[in-house]
Amino acid sequence: MATRPSLFEFAGGDDAFLALAAATHERCLRDPELNHPFSHHVSPRHTENLAAYWAEVLGGPTRYSENLGGHSGMLSIHAGEGAPEDMGDRFAACFIGAMDDAQLPDDPAFRAAMRAYIQWATREVNSYAPPGTQVEPDMAMPHWSWDGLEPAAP
């Protein structure tokens, strides 16, 4: 029995995730609530960094962990910033729409796994938004598969 490719591989690899990150960013810029944080508080390499993070979580190379602090590094960017309650839902909607913009596969199982991931991810990031929230160092990078969140490696 052949093994199923990772979500990263099925999507099309690095190029697909760079396209997804760019399309998501563009949609966020057009959103009235997301425009300000996405036009004022982002790294010049935001699109590349976002693509690297998603790629790693969804089965791709570990470049984000190797170069940008892994999961703790990503959460630290957002921690304590405060956020409107619907910001995660708005971001998830941008991501979901961006899958079409980036021409990711329209396979129903793939799209369902990607939607489930971004909904889980935005809830987690929002849990760190309240002012004063601290992030534990060296948190394990989450890994998401066709079946959802994978158990953390021992």
Instruction: Please check whether residue 3 lies inside any domain of the structure.
Output: no
| Least confident piece of the model among 32-41, 52-61, 111-120, 136-145 | 32-41
Q: With respect to residue 154, please indicate whether it lies within any of the assigned structural domains.
A: no
Q: What average pLDDT does range 117-133 have in this prediction?
A: 94
Token pair 């980036």 in the structure block, residue:
102
Whether residue 119 lies inside any domain: the answer is yes
Whether residue 108 lies inside any domain: the answer is: yes
What is the secondary structure of 1-31 as a DSSP string? -PPPPPHHHHHTHHHHHHHHHHHHHHHHHHS
In a domain, 90, yes or no: yes
Question: Which pLDDT score is estimated for 28?
Answer: 94
Strand, helix or coil for residue 149: strand
Q: Is residue 1 one of the residues assigned to a domain?
A: no
85 inside domain: yes
Place of tokens 């799209």: 111
pLDDT computed for residue 81 by the predictor: 82
What's this model's pTM, rounded to 2 decimal places? 0.94
Identify the domain containing residue 90 by its residue range: 8-147
- 152 falls within a domain: no
Which CATH number covers residue 120? 1.10.490.10
Based on the structure, what is the number of domains in the chain? Answer: 1
